[in-house]
């Protein structure tokens, strides 16, 4: 489902996340219901969520916009894949970017860093998080492709041509 088509048909129902995301993984477009994690430079909660069944959901992670430390790498991306998450959007950085890029996953992030994250477990799960001018709430829907990231309160359907 193209984000441009969603805007054309549902402009009043979608919000555009205005951040310069980088795309990694072999899956270039994805959509699904949102689950959230908020954690600054720490990936314990992110890994714990991705270790649960994804059932086609998208994990949206508010990492505070930090690109100093990576909060996802190839091992956690593999966990995400194995547990059937449709994708991940990170307001932060990843590492092992070449390996992640070769995987059958969908990742959006702000940058890369070779430095690994802290492991304190600080943060929150399942709360609304805001970045890029939009709020991502658990149960809302996100739509992602090469043109950008859109958020809607519900699953959207394009009209028949």
Q: Looking at residue 158, what is its pLDDT? A: 87
Task: Looking at the structure, give the CATH architecture of the domain made up of residues 3-152.
Answer: 3-Layer(bba) Sandwich (3.50)
Give start and end residues of each alpha helix (H) in the chain. 3-10, 44-50, 74-82, 97-101
Q: How confident is the model at residue 116 (pLDDT cuts 50, 70, 90)?
A: very high
- What is the per-residue pLDDT across 40-81, written as a single tens digit (0 to 9) for each? 999 999 999 999 999 999 999 999 999 999 999 999 999 999
Among candidates 25, 18, 30, 126, which has minimal Cα distance to 72?
25
b/e for 58-74, b at 16 or more Cβ within 10 A? bbbbbbebbbebbbbbb
The alpha carbons of the chain give a radius of gyration, in whole angstroms, of: 15
Once rounded to an integer, what is the mean pLDDT over residues 19-25? 98
| Number of C-beta neighbours around residue 82 at 10 A | 11
Name the band, by pLDDT with cuts 50, 70 and 90, for residue 1. Answer: confident
For the full predicted model, state whether its pTM sits above 0.85: yes
Distance CA 96, CA 122 (A): 23
Average pLDDT over residues 105-118: 97
Report CA torsion sign: 9, 155, 56, 142.
positive
């Amino acid at each position: 489902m193209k984000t441009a088509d969603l805007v054309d048909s549902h402009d009043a129902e979608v919000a555009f996340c205005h951040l310069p995301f980088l795309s990694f993984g072999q899956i270039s477009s994805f959509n699904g219901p949102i689950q959230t994690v908020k954690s600054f430079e720490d990936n314990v909660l992110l890994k714990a969520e991705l270790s649960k069944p994804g059932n086609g959901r998208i994990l949206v992670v508010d990492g505070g916009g930090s690109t100093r430390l990576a909060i996802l790498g190839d091992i956690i991306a593999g966990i995400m894949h194995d547990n059937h998450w449709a994708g991940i959007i990170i307001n932060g950085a990843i590492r092992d970017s070449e390996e992640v890029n070769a995987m059958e996953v969908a990742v959006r992030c702000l940058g890369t860093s070779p430095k690994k994250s802290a492991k304190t477990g600080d943060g929150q799960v399942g709360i609304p998080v805001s970045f890029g001018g939009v709020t991502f709430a658990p149960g809302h829907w996100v739509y992602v492709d090469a043109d950008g990231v859109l958020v809607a309160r519900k699953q959207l359907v394009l009209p028949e041509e």
